[in-house]
Amino acid sequence: MSQLVVKTLGELTIHRDGEAVPLPASKRTRALLGYLLLTGRSHRRESLCELLWWKPDDPRGALRWSLSKIRPLVRAGDEDRLITDRERAGIDSTQIEIDRRRLAAEIDDEDTALSRLEQISEILAETLLDGCDLSDQPTFAHWLTAQRQEIERLRERVMARLATHPDLSPGRLLPLARAWCEAEPFSRRAASNLITRLEQFGFADEARDQCDVYTQRFRQAGVDWTPPTGDEAQPAAGAEAEPASAGPFLDRQKIQFCMAEDNVRIAYATVGQGPPLVKAANWLSHLELDWDAPIWSPLFRQLAMDYRLIRYDERGNGLSDWDVEDLTFDAFVTDLESVVDASGLERFALLGISQGAAVSIAYAVKHPHRVSKLILFGGYPAGWRIDASEETIREREAIMTLTATGWGQHNPAYRQIFSSTFMPTATPEELEWFNEFQRATASPENAVRFLSAFGDIDVRHLLGKLRVPTLVIHSLRDQRIPVQTGIDLATAIPDAEFLGLESDNHLLLGREPSSQAFVSAIRDFLGSASGSNNR
C-alpha cells in the first residue's frame, strides 16, 4: 500500500512514497483538503458548502469539482480514502501520516530526545495551512484561527518540556522559562518554574518580584497557587499537580452518533478524562464549531481538563439529523436519555444551560439514581407562552416571523436581535462569529420550530420533586432570562444553592472574569464525588 505523508505546517504538501504530489491550484480546494485531513471525519455537504462556497450560484457543484480533484490525491493503491455519498463527504485519515498528529505524539512521548524537541519547536513556528486563508469565508476563517491557536498550544507544551529539561544549561533554561511564562501567563507550573530557576541561578530579587506579580495575578483570576520556596520546587519533575494543557483535547475530541427512540440520529462528543460531566444540549449547538468557538470554547476546554465532558447536538441542529418530525420538549429529553445510554454511564453530573436546564430537570426527576449532581445556568422552568400576556406573545411571534424570512440571508441584522440579548457585551468580532454560527447551525424552518418549542416548556411541577444536589448559577444582569427567574428556580428546588455572576451575558464569553468564576464554581460544587459511581 502506498504511504501518504501530509505536511500541514507551512504550505500544505502531500508526499506519496517519498514523491511530492502536485496539488490543485485552487485555494478553496486546498483549503477543503486541509479541512478534511485535519478533521479526519465526514461532514454534511451543506456544511462544507457553507464553509467554503457561500457566494457561488452552484456551491454543491463547486464542492463536487473540488472533491473530484482531491480523490486521486489521497488514494493509496486500490484504497479510496475519500469517503462520499449524496449527503456527506470526508477523508479517512487513520492510515495517513499527518505532521500535526505525529508532532503531538512526539511531544507527549517522554523518550523524545532534546534535539528533537528543539526541532519540533521550530517546526511549530510555521503557519498552519499557510496560503489557505479565505477572508470571504468567516466560518472557515474562525476554524483556521482556532486550529492555529492549537498549534500555539502545542508549541507551549514543547516550551514547557524544554524549560524543565534536566540536560539544558542554565544559560539556555532561564530564557526558556521566561518565554514559557509569556506564552502561558496563567500557568502555575510556568510561574513556579521561572521563580525556581531565578532562585537557582542567583536572581533572588527578581524571583521575589515575580513571586509578587504572579501571586496578585492568580488571586485576581481566582486560581489557587502556592509560590515555591527554596529547593522545595522540582519543576523538571512537574512540581504541581496541575491539569494537563488543553492543547491535545481538540485532536482527541471523539464524535459519535446514536439513535433516539424514533430513529433520529444524534451526534455526541466525548473529550477529557476524569469523572463524567454531561452537558445537556441547548440551542444553538454544533459539536465541531462549538469546540472552535472564540466565545465559549474556553469554558469547555477548562472543564475537559478535570472531567470526561460529554456534549451533544439536539435533534434539528448541529451534526444531528435536521429533518425530524418531533421537535418538542419531550423529544429533547429523549435525546439526552439516548446519549447517556450510548455513553455507557450509570451515574454522572449533569449541566444544563438555558433551555437545557429544563431538559436536565426533567431527566433528573425521571432518573434520580443516575444524576449525582445538577448544575443549572441561565435556566428557566417555563417557556415564553406560559402565563404570557398578549403583548409578549405578539412580540415573540413577530420574532419568529423575522426568523423565518431572514435566517438564511447574508445580512445578519435580524440575527442581531438574538445576539444582542444573548451577549450584550460581546465585541463586534464575537457578534459576527455568533451571527454566522447561528446560520451554520440550523435551517430557518428549524430555527422557528425551536423558538416555538421553547415557548411550551413547563417543568414547574417537577422542581419540588428534585432530590439531587443542585447548584443554580445565573448572570446578575442577564438580558435574556432575568436573574429573578434564576432566584425563583433555586427557591423552588429543595436545598438548591444559588450563585450570581457579575455578567450581562446569557451566554458567557470565555474571556470575561465571570467565566472563570463559573468554572471554579462547578469544580467546587462537584468536588471528587461526581464520578464516584460512574461505570
What would the pLDDT profile of 413-423 be if each residue is shown by its tens digit? Answer: 666 676 777 88
β-partners of residue 13 are 7
- Cβ neighbour number for residue 529 with a 10 Å cutoff: 13
Say how far apart CA 329 and CA 449 lie, in whole Å.
11
Residue 233 above 70 pLDDT?
no
Instruction: Give the 3-state DSSP-derived string for 518-529, with helices as H, strands as E and coil as C.
Output: HHHHHHHHHCCC
Contact of 153 with 245, CB cutoff 8 Å: yes
pLDDT band, residue 51 (cuts 50/70/90): confident
- CATH architecture of the domain with range 253-384+458-526: 3-Layer(aba) Sandwich (3.40)
Say how far apart CA 287 and CA 168 lie, in whole Å.
42
pLDDT at 275: 92
pLDDT at 14: 96
Residue 314 above 90 pLDDT?
yes
Residue 343 above 80 pLDDT?
yes
Task: Say what angle helices 114-123 and 99-108 make with each other, to 10 degrees.
Answer: 140
The residue written with cell numbers 454544533 in the block is 286
| CB crowding 445-458: b at 16 or more within 10 Å, else e | bbbbbbbbbbbebe
Q: Tell me what the mean pLDDT of segment 11-36 comes to.
A: 95
Q: Tell me what the mean pLDDT of segment 209-229 comes to.
A: 82
Q: Could you tell me the pTM of the whole model? A: 0.59
Residue 180 above 60 pLDDT?
yes
Q: Which helix (H) or strand (E) holds 286?
A: none
Can you tell me whether residue 149 is helix, strand or coil? helix
Can you tell me whether residue 6 is helix, strand or coil? strand
Residue 242 above 60 pLDDT?
no
- pLDDT single digits (tens) 193-212: 999 988 888 888 888 999 99
pLDDT at 222: 65
CA 139 to chain centre: 15
C-alpha distances in Å from residue 405, one per residue of 398, 451, 512: 11, 14, 34
Contact of 442 with 467, CB cutoff 8 Å: no
Instruction: Give the 3-state DSSP-derived string for 429-490, with helices as H, strands as E and coil as C.
Output: HHHHHHHHHHHHHCCHHHHHHHHHHHHCCECHHHHHHCCCCEEEEEECCCCCCCHHHHHHHH
pLDDT at 397: 83
Residue 251 above 70 pLDDT?
no
Q: Tell me what the mean pLDDT of segment 490-516 comes to.
A: 89
What is the pairing mode between strands 265-271 and 97-98?
unpaired
Nearest one of 337, 296, 289 to 317, comparing CA atoms? 289
Q: Which helix (H) or strand (E) holds 305?
A: helix 297-306
CA dihedral 69, 71, 76, 77 (to 10 degrees): -90
pLDDT at 401: 82
Contact of 301 with 519, CB cutoff 8 Å: no
- The pLDDT mean for the chain works out to 86
- pLDDT single digits (tens) 126-166: 999 999 999 888 778 878 887 888 888 888 889 889 998 88
Say how far apart CA 64 and CA 70 lie, in whole Å.
10
Contact of 530 with 306, CB cutoff 8 Å: no
pLDDT band, residue 435 (cuts 50/70/90): confident
pLDDT at 411: 55
- Cβ neighbour number for residue 75 with a 10 Å cutoff: 15
Residue 97 above 90 pLDDT?
yes
Residue 12 above 80 pLDDT?
yes
CA dihedral 295, 298, 303, 304 (to 10 degrees): 110
Say how far apart CA 515 and CA 302 lie, in whole Å.
10
Q: Tell me what the mean pLDDT of segment 467-486 comes to.
A: 93
Q: Tell me what the mean pLDDT of segment 10-24 comes to.
A: 94
pLDDT at 487: 96
- Cβ neighbour number for residue 285 with a 10 Å cutoff: 24
Residue 57 above 80 pLDDT?
no
DSSP conformation letters of 215-256: HHHHHHHT-------TT---GGG-SS-PPPPSTTHHHH-EEE
Percent of the chain scoring above 90 in pLDDT: 46
Query: How many residues belong to the chain?
Result: 535
- pLDDT single digits (tens) 513-527: 888 889 889 988 997
pLDDT at 392: 80
Residue 122 above 80 pLDDT?
yes
Residue 281 above 60 pLDDT?
yes
* C-alpha dihedral sign at 300, 304, 305, 307: positive
Can you tell me whether residue 83 is helix, strand or coil? strand
C-alpha distances in Å from residue 321, one per residue of 39, 52, 312, 317, 325: 20, 22, 12, 7, 10
pLDDT at 328: 95
pLDDT band, residue 273 (cuts 50/70/90): confident
Domain boundaries, the chain: 1-141, 164-245, 253-384+458-526
- 149 by Cβ neighbours in 10 Å (0-12 / 13-18 / 19+) ranks as middle
Residue 530 above 60 pLDDT?
no
pLDDT at 449: 93
- pLDDT single digits (tens) 375-411: 999 999 999 889 888 888 887 888 788 777 777 565 5
Say how far apart CA 161 and CA 12 lie, in whole Å.
27
Q: Tell me what the mean pLDDT of segment 32-55 comes to.
A: 87
pLDDT band, residue 230 (cuts 50/70/90): low
pLDDT band, residue 219 (cuts 50/70/90): confident
What CATH number does the domain located at 1-141 have? 1.10.10.10
For 294, phi then psi, to 5°, come to -70, -10
pLDDT at 425: 83
The residue written with cell numbers 506564552 in the block is 183
Beta strands per DSSP E along 340-402: 348-353, 371-377
